[in-house]
Every structure is written in C-alpha cells, then in structure tokens.
Amino acid sequence: MELFLDQLESPIGAIVLISDGEALRVLDFVDCEERMQRLLKIHYGDKVPVRDSRASADIKRRVIAYFAGELTSVDEIGVRTEGTPFQKLVWEELRNIPAGTTISYGELAKRIGRPNASRAVGLANGSNPIAIVVPCHRVIGANGSLTGYGGGMERKRWLLEHESAQRSLATVSLAKL
C-alpha cells in the first residue's frame, strides 16, 4: 500500500489530506503534524510510504465546498481507516450526526449500543484520523460545553459556528419559499 499526501488552504488553517488513491485516510491540520504522524504510525506502522501527490480532485472539491457553505458536500467522501473495531464503530456513527447539530459523548455511546462507554467513546473520538469528514467536532460535553479537539478548541468552535450559521441560512431560505 502507498499513501498520497496533499495540502489544502482553509479558513482555519492549512489542511493535510492523505488518501490511498481511492479513499481518504487522514484529514488533519498542518500545525498538528506531530499528532498526525503519531496516528499514522499507530494505524499504518513505519512501513507504509507516504509521498507528496495531488489528492483526488473530488475530495479537494468537496472539502472546499464544505468551507464555502455546502455542509453535506463531505458526506459522500469515501473514507478508509485503520483502528480497533470499537473505534471504527464510533467513527462510522460520527458520520450520522447531521451538520449543524451536536450530541454528547453519552448520546454517541447509546447510539452505538454501548450506553456505559462514554469515556471509551471519548478516547475513540480523540483518535479519529479524519477530521471534518468524520465529524468528531460535533461531539460535546453532556452539559453542552465544548470539550477537547485534536485540531484545537478554536477550530472546533469555528466549525460548529460555521455549520450552525449555514444551517440557519438554509432554514431562512426554505422559509421564504
């Protein structure tokens, strides 16, 4: 297997995209390279070459569209991750959280059929290698507070505000029809 790395500018900083030529494997922020390298090593070991390349035009187009306000544009990006079966279950469920909404770790644990596993869900959420597309930023504390985010709390806040604002605009536009 070979992985391909590309970068993309965004309103919240430069983004690194790593794909296998078919599916997205990593989406992280350039200034989080240490975390990204750690996750790559955990998930793929030292033997998988990562070379500079152009990411799939479709992946880039969809991420750019997300930042332009088309929040569901990332929903169709194919992803492929390595991780434990539990992590993969959590990451799959994250993709079912609609843009512009949030849920708690406890609610996410219930949705995967493990209502007492909110801490384990939090750990799996924190190990998510595909930010934004696998929207771990949509998970918040039970009391509504923002909790940790691998890309930093300012980015989490920005992403949630971006999604909320776009959802509000869509609601207003539909109401005018």
Shared-domain flag, residues 60 and 93? no
Contact 19, 25 (CB under 8 A): yes
Contact 57, 21 (CB under 8 A): no
pLDDT, position 170: 53
pLDDT, position 55: 60
Q: Residue 139 maps to which CATH number?
A: 1.10.10.10
* Relative orientation angle of helices 118-126 and 85-94, to the nearest 10 degrees: 80
Helix or strand run (H / E) with residue 29: strand 24-29
Among residues 53, 24, 2, 56, the alpha carbon closest in space to that of 130 is found at 24
pLDDT, position 4: 87
* pLDDT under 70: residue ranges of the chain: 47-49, 51, 54-55, 167-177
pLDDT, position 36: 80
Shared-domain flag, residues 54 and 114? no
Rg (CA), the chain: 16
Other beta carbons less than 10 A from residue 149's beta carbon? 20
Number of domains composing the chain: 2
Query: Cα angle vertex 104, ends 101, 108, to 5°?
Result: 95
Catalytic residue flag (residue 32): no
pLDDT, position 166: 75
Catalytic choice (55, 74, 131, 136): 136
State the residue range of the domain holding 46: 3-76
Shared-domain flag, residues 166 and 99? yes
Please state whether beta strands 24-29 and 15-19 pair in parallel, antiparallel, or not at all (unpaired).
Answer: antiparallel
Q: Residue 12 maps to which CATH number?
A: 3.30.160
pTM of the model: 0.87
> Quick one: 22 exposed, middle or buried, by C-beta within 10 A (0-12, 13-18, 19+)?
exposed
Q: Which amino acid is at 106?
A: G
